[in-house]
Amino acid sequence: MTILSALTVNELKIAYEQKTIVNNVSLTIPKGSITAIVGPNGAGKSTFVKGLLNLVPIQQGEIKFFGQSYQAVKERIGYVPQRADIDWDFPVSVIEVVLMGLHKTLKWYQRFNSQHHHVARSALEQVGMEAYINQHIKQLSGGQQQRVFLARALVEQADLYILDEPLVGIDKVTEKIIIQQLHLLKEAGKTILVVHHDLNTIKQYFDHVILLNQELIAYGEVETTFTPHNLKHTFKDTHVIVGEPYAHA
């Protein structure tokens, strides 16, 4: 059973300064699935994925990737942070950002060589950003910045990808490209976990959904889990029109 699961979470609890942010989350995500994490603002979606990746301390619970600890398999996990977490003024060019995804393949004294540049370039081609290689990241639109971050994740050649709000504040073209790439990854047998905000596109883009509002409200296949009843329960503090899922900004 564990062999077939990409991620198993058992009674996870994350708190910050005595304030519980994520509580009592247990779930098993099968390999090769594409899962949306959905919930209102402040539901702890971002904290949840950061907890999975060891970026924030967890109070209790157990997290297993491919049946092993994070430390044992961290090479196999790719991550795309929220755009808001990044200082886009920072002096770094597009290709340099993508090369960061290859950092773990190098020894501390080694430099990026032409092979690495080639890999980074083809990842940029995949997301349609090859024309911007030497541009400063500040000069890009929000959607283009997000595509560069996706390219950085692609070069990691991971087995599990975790993306935090990749479709926020971007154009339609970028949304199409990102979803296309994610589905290509899924077809290649990779597992994908996406913090997502737009309830309108869940059925179209994902096969599994996690409904989170501090506690786990429901988890499972979109068909059976993404129901008006569960949504009402998830968004109880916000005004959601049940039965008519709307884009939660």
Partner 1 sequence: MLMLSNIHWVLLCTIALGALSGTVSALTYWKNQSLMSDALSHAVLPGVVISYMLSGIKQTTFMFIGAAISALLASYFITAITKHSKLKADTAMGIVLATFFSLGLVLLTVVNNMPNGQQSGISSFIYGQAATLLKQDMQLTIMLAIIVISLILFSLKQWRLFLFDPHYARLQGLNVNRFERLYLFIVVLTIVIGIKAVGIILMAALLIIPAAASKYWSTTLAQTIMLSSLIGASSSAIGTWISTQGHFIPTGPMIVIMASSMFTLSLISAKCKAWLSRINLKGLS
Cβ-based nearer residue to partner 1, 136 or 186: 136
Token representation of residue 10:
């058992």
Q: Which residues is 19 bridged to in the sheet?
A: 16
Burial 118-139 (b: 16+ CB within 10 A, else e): ebbbebbebbebeebbeeebee
Cβ–Cβ under 8 Å, residues 174 and 147:
yes
Is residue 15 close enough to count as binding partner 1 by CB under 8 A? no
Is residue 107 close enough to count as binding partner 1 by CB under 8 A? no
Q: Applying CB under 8 A, which part among 38-46, 82-90, 179-187, 209-217 lies near partner 1? A: 82-90
Cβ–Cβ under 8 Å, residues 208 and 184:
no
> Which residue of 1, 18, 108, 249 would you call a contact of partner 1, by CB under 8 A?
108
Q: Applying CB under 8 A, which part among 32-40, 51-59, 187-195, 239-247 lies near partner 1? A: 51-59
Is residue 18 close enough to count as binding partner 1 by CB under 8 A? no
Cβ-based nearer residue to partner 1, 104 or 172: 104
Name all contacts of 139-143 with Cβ < 8 Å and 24+ positions apart: 140/94, 141/171, 142/83, 142/169, 142/170, 142/171, 143/169, 143/170, 143/171, 143/173, 143/174, 143/175
- Length in residues, the chain: 249
In the complex, minimum distance from the CB of residue 103 to partner 1, in angstroms, rounded to a whole number: 4
Cβ-based nearer residue to partner 1, 86 or 131: 86
> Which residue of 13, 74, 76, 117 would you call a contact of partner 1, by CB under 8 A?
74
Q: Which of residues 85-104 bind partner 1 (CB under 8 A)?
A: 85-87, 89-93, 96-97, 99-101, 103-104
Is residue 147 close enough to count as binding partner 1 by CB under 8 A? no
